[in-house]
Amino acid sequence: DTAVSQTPKYLVTQMGNDKSIKCEQNLGHDTMYWYKQDSKKFLKIMFSYNNKELIINETVPNRFSPKSPDKAHLNLHINSLELGDSAVYFCASSGDVGNTIYFGEGSWLTVV
Amino acid sequence: GNSVTQMEGPVTLSEEAFLTINCTYTATGYPSLFWYVQYPGEGLQLLLKATKADDKGSNKGFEATYRKETTSFHLEKGSVQVSDSAVYFCALSDRTGTASKLTFGTGTRLQVTL
């Protein structure tokens, strides 16, 4: 019974392709996030949604488009993939109490 | 803006040695503080947290105390094991409306040898 699950875990794709990463949480949280971890392990927030509404949108190329069909799901679609998009993408969620953010296991994206 | 500074790694220790990983932060207001751990090839796991000054977070033998006067949240463990080898991230959280935004340090790699 994984709390935050994301698929696929590994994705290798060619430059120029469009790909999606899916995320689901069963914690009953209202807020979900996407974080990016680069090759140097640095973690940075990309987006946050609360109950399907965009709350945080950091400086991210508009090739990245999050979509939240309901508060338990937050998918990440990436258009026209570039070599620099290679990274680990983490989905996460949080409730209203305590500010603790729980992460999924990550999706390792490699663009070749 | 908010920032988190961690000691640079890698930190290499022998099994049963004492561990300290330093973490200091800059923030407006009173953020919550966290340590996350990432084992090789795995995702981020919450290790411990503290939500207010002088709180001590603890888990799996690891401890960290929220020190407002020194803006620090150093991670300690009395006796490390080989299985503790991982990358450790210090982070602070502040609220943006209904979302919590985590600002991470750069991570400290710990390598424990027999």
What is the DSSP pairing of strand B11-14 with strand B108-113? Answer: parallel
Provide mean pLDDT across the span B40-67.
Answer: 94
Residue B100, pLDDT score: 78
Residue B20: is its pLDDT beyond 70?
A: yes
What is the DSSP pairing of strand A4-7 with strand A19-25? Answer: antiparallel
**Distances in Å between the alpha carbon of A83 and those of A23, A31, A38, A79?**
23, 30, 12, 12
Residue B37, pLDDT score: 96
Asked if the Cβ–Cβ distance from B51 to A102 is below 8 Å, we say no
Closest CA to A18 of A79, A82, A84, A64: A79
Closest CA to A63 of A43, A37, A83, A44: A83
Residue A98, pLDDT score: 57
Residue A1, pLDDT score: 61
Of A40, A45, A105, the CB nearest to B43: A105
| Residue A19 burial class via C-beta count within 10 angstroms: exposed 0-12, middle 13-18, buried 19 and up | middle
Q: Which of A6, A29, A41 to mutate to test the interface with B (most CBs of B within 10 A)?
A: A41
Q: How far is CA A110 from the centre of its chain?
A: 15
Residue A88, pLDDT score: 95
pLDDT band at A14 (very low <50, low <70, confident <90, very high): very high
Asked if the Cβ–Cβ distance from A48 to B99 is below 8 Å, we say yes
Residue B96: is its pLDDT beyond 70?
A: no
Of A94-103, B35-44, B74-83, give the range with the top mean pLDDT: B74-83
- Please enumerate in sequence order all residues whose Cβ is within 8 A of that of B92, keeping only pairs 6 or more positions apart, or say none: B2, B4, B25, B27, B31, B32, B33, B34, B102, B103
CA distance A67 to A50: 12
Query: From the CA of A9, how many Å to the nearest CA of chain B?
Result: 10
The mean predicted confidence, pLDDT, of chain B is 93
Asked if the Cβ–Cβ distance from A101 to B98 is below 8 Å, we say no
